[in-house]
Amino acid sequence: MILKAFTFNSFGVNGFVLSNDAGDAILIDPSVSNEREEAALANYIATNNLTVRHLLNTHLHLDHVLGNAFVAKTYGVQPEAHEEDAFMLDLQEEQSEMFGLPLREPSPGLGNYLAEGDAVEVPGIHLQVFHIAGHSPGGIAFYCEKPGEVNGQKKVPPLLFPGDIIFAGSRGRSDLFGGDEEALVSGIKSKLLTLPKETVVFPGHGPMTTIADESRWY
């Protein structure tokens, strides 16, 4: 697997491109917000001869979906996320005003609903879906239990892409659009902190962490 991380828009959203040796690519929260960011993402995809197979959203707060329209039009894929967050796509203008984030083009509707226990795959890359409500009703984390070789490094531990569910030293806020603090903490404890301690966590904002480090806070 090749893993490329980007940081997009004024909210500092971490977006990821996962690809295999054949050039099949999975995009997670590619929330480009201007022409410069669009070019950076497109140049990486073109330079590495990638074919985008999936556009995944960990949740549908505006800062994480700003690039959906660009990716959908450019690569012919539709966003995939949890059904319980779909209502937020009808609130993109309201979110733009609330967060002060310019909305260049609204995200299209979801092309596929993801739910607890689903898997998103391309050859050599298997992502398991965990549904953890609380930051948003349909928040999901993507877990790669056996990433194999990553960026030339062998014996890589499991990888987790939790969006805004958990950060390094903190967790997502629960006061927006159907948030629920109790559900968030419960989901983190029961589904994330039970993962192997060496699991490397790539949050939706901020630096990487590990399950071992985050377990200290609960």
Closest to 165 (Cα-Cα) out of 100, 90, 85: 85
DSSP string, the chain: -EEEEEEETTTTEEEEEEE-TT-EEEEE-----SHHHHHHHHHHHHHTT-EEEEEE-S---HHHHTTHHHHHHHH---EEE-GGGGGGGGGHHHHHHHHT---SSPPPPPSEE--TT-EEEETTEEEEEEE--SSSTT-EEEEES---SBTTBSSPPPEEE-TTSEETTEE----SSS--HHHHHHHIIIIITTS-TT-EE--SBS--EEHHHHHTT-
Q: Strand order of the sheet with strand 200-201?
A: 119-122, 125-131, 140-144, 159-161, 200-201, 209-210
Residue 178 has pLDDT above 90, yes or no: no
What's the confidence (pLDDT) of residue 92? 97
Residue 94 has pLDDT above 90, yes or no: yes
Assessment of whether the complete model's pTM goes beyond 0.95: yes
Query: CATH code at 34?
Result: 3.60.15.10
Cβ 202 vs Cβ 14: under 8 Å: yes
Residue 82 CB partners (closer than 8 Å, separation 6+): 59, 113, 114, 115, 131, 137, 138, 139, 140
Extract the tokens encoding 5: 């991380």
* 160: containing domain: 2-215
Per residue in 37-86, pLDDT tens? 999 999 999 999 999 999 999 999 999 999 999 999 999 999 999 999 99
Report how many domains make up the chain. Answer: 1
Per residue in 97-149, pLDDT tens? 999 999 999 999 999 999 999 999 999 999 999 999 999 999 999 999 999 99
What's the confidence (pLDDT) of residue 177? 85
What's the confidence (pLDDT) of residue 32? 98
Q: Average model confidence (pLDDT) for the chain?
A: 97
Task: Tell me what the mean pLDDT of segment 185-190 comes to.
Answer: 98
CA distance to 36, 58, 174, 190, 211, per residue, from 193 (Å): 37, 18, 19, 6, 6
What's the confidence (pLDDT) of residue 135? 98
